[in-house]
Structure 1
Amino acid sequence: MGSWQYVVLWAYVAHTALVRGESPVLPSTKYISLNPTQTTISLEKPYCSSSTAAMVYLYVVQNGATNTAVSDANIILNTTFTSSSGGKSQPYLADKFTNPQCVNFPDLSTLNVSTLVSGVLANYIVRVGGNVDCLTDPNFSGICNPPLQTGTSYRFKYVYANAGVKQFETDWSPAISTITAKTSSTIDTWPGRRSGGMIVLTSILSVLLFFLLLGFIGMVVASLTVGSSSGGDIKTYDTRISHKAPAVPQASADPVYSTTHEYSPHPEA
């Protein structure tokens, strides 16, 4: 064997050892700002790690589990989330994808283009806990990757395989924890550091006060409207009171005039 062949052989061995030693890592916060979340953990896909394996399998186990086997006689295990109690008893298969090659590395500089973000991230990361309905959907097919538990530590491993036969696997990653959800009593509601219950009560009272104020304004407007309409109409009343002069009694001494008299054209002198 020539010297150049030894160089190639040692380079291959060194590369294989390096790949086997690599473990899944979190992507840069420059590209994924909120990670982990309460129920998900995003990992970088292993670009430029192997050119021989066709598929990469991602296994998940809760930190502290004693059984960490992912294969049996180099045949990869298809342990599910349910059968492993969410990774408590042993690792479960969370995802599988085509082995990513260096020539297909996503262009991360295009992440500022809104129409390209979804496709670039799908090629760059694998999201553990991304299937929300796979446990409850009876028609779901494929690998179930349900949400992770809040405030729980997990470890991850990549397994490279061809037709279900393992070629090699990485080390388990360091423990990575999901975010712990805060209870309402621990929410900092400065000023006053009010509890979550007090915030809810204050919100309800504020809404009720708004409706009371709205009703008061409505009553004022209605009263002003009625007042203006009653002042503009002038009502007239027809008084039918008749005053009859009292009869004056006629004295006996008063002369009596007759309305009837004779007219003579030739009165006597």
Structure 2
Amino acid sequence: MDSLLLLLLAIAGTFAQIEVIPYIPRLTDQALEGKITASTFALDPPNCIFDSLVNTTDEIWLVVAFTNATNSFKNPTNPQQIPPYENLYSTYAYMTMKATISQYPCNRDKSGSVLRVGNESSCKNHNSLTPCNGPLPSPGPYRVKFLAMDSTGSKAETRWSGPITLNKAQTWKTVDTWPGRRSGDMIVVTVILSILCGVVTAGFVSTVCYECFKLWQNGPQENVEQQRQDPSQPSRYDTHHIPLAPPGPPPPPMDIPGSQLISASP
């Protein structure tokens, strides 16, 4: 009897209806660059959506699923059933951005506050089955909803969003390179830059040619001067900065015998 009661309670808990909030997640309407990219998209945060339904200890998750897998997605009843980002191609859905009610307050300034889905590239290759907010691997389309959970399982949820399709990168063959489709300003700038490059190149070539001509013109004269010099003669070195020494005094006269006698006679 006890086992039957437990079975009935489990079945009742499985099919128990959780609170559905009439809120539809949507892309932010703020003027942002890259609101939708090839691997991310930006949502408005669910401020004031769960205030009357959850406690401060409850968790609020974002569920991301392929559009054709939303009907088959089952809300987890315990943390072990939360589908991680790494299993996206096997479960076709994952849960990310775990938060609490304190992160979505009613008094938050909405300007500049968005939730960027797929913005965490550092955890995509960890294979640790963590609640990673990794980049979305394909254009989708995707649909999202917010889900509140407590220790016993899912507690409240929003409605699914509309389909969100990411940008698809163009292949190099599809890029139009014909100049006729470019704007007039772009053509003018391109022409001006081309002319400046040509002027700089012409000036460089002229300078090189002039220097080469100078070397060629002065080279033969220097060779002739070198040939005129006799290699057997030493190089002359003039010390212009040293004055010439004055001539020395004449030597004294030599003594002549008998000179004293001549000078002493009257």
Fold similarity call, TM over 0.5 = yes
Query: Does residue 69 of structure 1 match 2:73?
Result: yes
State the partner residue of 2:96: 94
State the partner residue of 2:109: 106
1:152-211: CA deviations, max 9, x gaps?
210001002234632210111110000011111111223257xxxxxxxxxxxx9xx99x
Query: Does residue 125 of structure 1 match 2:127?
Result: no
Count of aligned pairs: 189
CA distance in structure 1 between the partners assigned to 2:162 and 2:74 by the alignment: 17
| Amino acid corresponding to residue 182 of structure 1 in structure 2 | Q
State the partner residue of 1:179: 167
Question: Percent identity among equivalent residues?
Answer: 23
Between Structure 1 and Structure 2, the one with more helix by share is: 2
CA distance in structure 2 between the partners assigned to 1:171 and 1:228 by the alignment: 89
State the partner residue of 1:78: 82
Secondary structure of 1:102's match? Answer: coil
1:243-268: CA deviations, max 9, x gaps?
xxxxxxxxxxxxxxxxxxxxxxxxxx
| Amino acid corresponding to residue 175 of structure 2 in structure 1 | I
Secondary structure of 1:95's match? Answer: strand
CA distance in structure 2 between the partners assigned to 1:89 and 1:141 by the alignment: 13
CA distance in structure 2 between the partners assigned to 1:186 and 1:147 by the alignment: 25
Q: CA deviation at 1:234?
A: 7.7
> Structure 1 regions of 5+ residues with no counterpart?
1-15, 109-120, 194-205, 241-269
Cα 1:24–1:216 change in 2 (3 A) is same
Cα 1:217–1:178 change in 2 (3 A) is farther
What is the correspondence of 1:14-163 to structure 2 with a 5 Å cutoff? Answer: 20-30=21-31, 32-51=32-51, 52-53=53-54, 54-65=58-69, 68-72=72-76, 74-75=77-78, 77-85=81-89, 89-99=91-101, 100-103=104-107, 105-106=108-109, 108=111, 121=112, 124-137=113-126, 142-163=130-151
Q: CA deviation at 1:147?
A: 1.0
Secondary structure of 2:176's match? Answer: coil
RMSD, matched Cα = 3.7
Report the TM-score, using the length of structure 1 for normalisation: 0.58
State the partner residue of 2:259: none
